Chains A and B, each alone.
Chain A
Amino acid sequence: MNGIMNDMKKDSTTVFGFWVYLMTDFVLFASLFAVYAVLHANTFGGVGGKDIFNAPFVLIETIILLTSSFTTGLALLAAKAGKKWWVLILLLATAALGAAFVSLEFSEFSTLVLEGHRWTQSGFLSAYFTLVGTHGLHVLIGLLWMVALMIAIIRHGLTQPNMRKLLLFSLFWHFLDIIWIFIFTLVYLFGLL
């Protein structure tokens, strides 16, 4: 019993440590937001936000990411109820939505580059690609994490280490959702004004 209590204490410390990591990531994104805020008007005679942002496209991306955040929450509820296969199904749904998000973002980026609007073009495009790309990279890492997590759950079930990993992953994924809300508002909607 004492051993179990110690394990719980260790896990709650891990959760707090992960939270501290998320806060440092928050500061990283804030720096990129500050760079974007400073450089967004420096288009060097090239395209600005109004010319390249597609409102319905970004709305779909936002709904996809919001829904994936919701399915992560449901996966945690399934884990709480001890339903291993529901956890896997919901994680698979989250991964599918995350993959859809990343591929939409990739198609957006590749269209821009193919049209000649590269990140070397202007301060605006450099800041835009860096901010949105860093978020996309985080989502991609989250996808890899999800694959590893699903394999671990299939092999060992809802053990304590897997419950901990699932909880940390959910925090990471909700965090990316929050960052995206600010990208949606401050980059895309402000750019379309």
Chain B
Amino acid sequence: MNTRTYFEDVGAWPAAEGKPHLVWPAYVLGFILSLLLTFAAYGVVVYHVLPVSLTYVIAVLIGLAGIQFLVQLVFFFHLSAQHAARERLIILGGTIIIVGILLSGSIWIMFTLDQRMMPSATQMTHYMDTQAGI
């Protein structure tokens, strides 16, 4: 076992074939970008740096979190399209689909429950009274 190449040998880091390994700048860059994205999100909420409506602020915050997610995957987890990382990418993709269904499905169902409820007897009578021809 060679400590110099161990992380590459087990497929955790991209193998350096010919060109020098760029893991050191990746950590520094990932750290700086993560801090900047965190400060940006904080500034949007606490100092209201964006004079836009609440809906846009929410979209911006989700966008910033999404970018930070990608930044950390690339710079801290060293994920790439390389062969060793591909199987990890595939299972990550599948998990993101499950997580998406879980989150959007829960929110959608729980916040539209009223539309799927059977109306009460009084509501039903009122409905029939107001509908012509019933």
B contact residues around A38 at 8 Å (CB): 106-107, 110-111
B contact residues around A77 at 8 Å (CB): 23-24, 27
Q: Which residue of B76, B87, B110 contacts A174 across the interface (Cβ within 8 Å)?
A: B76
Instruction: Tell me if B81 counts as interface (CB < 8 A to partner A).
Output: no
A contact residues around B46 at 8 Å (CB): 55, 192
Given A19-B91, A74-B27, A80-B3, residue A26 in contact with residue B77 (CB < 8 A) = no
A53-75 interface mask toward B, CB cutoff 8 Å, 1 = contact, 0 = none? 00100010011001101100110
B21-33 interface mask toward A, CB cutoff 8 Å, 1 = contact, 0 = none? 0011001001100
B44-71 interface mask toward A, CB cutoff 8 Å, 1 = contact, 0 = none? 1110000000100110011011001100
Instruction: Tell me if A163 counts as interface (CB < 8 A to partner B).
Output: yes
User: Which residue of chain A lies nearest to B5 when distances are taken between CB atoms in the complex?
Assistant: A80
Given A16-B87, A69-B76, A184-B38, residue A4 in contact with residue B1 (CB < 8 A) = yes
Asked if A171 contacts B77 (CB within 8 A), the reply is yes
Given A7-B1, A30-B99, A59-B42, residue A80 in contact with residue B6 (CB < 8 A) = yes
B interface SS class: helix
B contact residues around A190 at 8 Å (CB): 58, 61
Complex-state Cα separation, A63 to B76, whole angstroms: 16
Asked if B38 contacts A30 (CB within 8 A), the reply is no
Complex-state Cα separation, A131 to B59, whole angstroms: 22
Q: Which residue of B3, B9, B23, B42 contacts A82 across the interface (Cβ within 8 Å)?
A: B3
Count chain B CB atoms within 10 A of each CB in A27, A70, A158 and give the residue with the most: A70
Chain B interface residue count, CB cutoff 8 Å, equals 50
B contact residues around A12 at 8 Å (CB): 9-12, 84
Q: Which residues in window 11-25 of B have CB below 8 A to A?
A: 11-12, 23-24
Instruction: Tell me if A108 counts as interface (CB < 8 A to partner B).
Output: no
Q: Which residue of A15, A171, A189 contacts B41 across the interface (Cβ within 8 Å)?
A: A189
Mark the stretch among A91-99, A109-117, A143-151, A175-183 that contacts chain B: A175-183
Asked if A181 contacts B99 (CB within 8 A), the reply is no
Chain A interfacial positions (CB closer than 8 Å to B): 4, 7-8, 11-12, 14-16, 19-20, 23, 26-27, 30-31, 33-35, 37-38, 55, 59, 62-63, 66-67, 69-70, 73-74, 76-77, 79-82, 158-160, 163-164, 167, 171, 174, 177-178, 181-182, 184-186, 189-190, 192-193
Chain B interfacial positions (CB closer than 8 Å to A): 1, 3-4, 6-7, 9-12, 23-24, 27, 30-31, 34-35, 38, 41-42, 44-46, 54, 57-58, 61-62, 64-65, 68-69, 72-73, 76-77, 84, 87-88, 91-92, 94-95, 98-99, 102-103, 106-107, 110-111
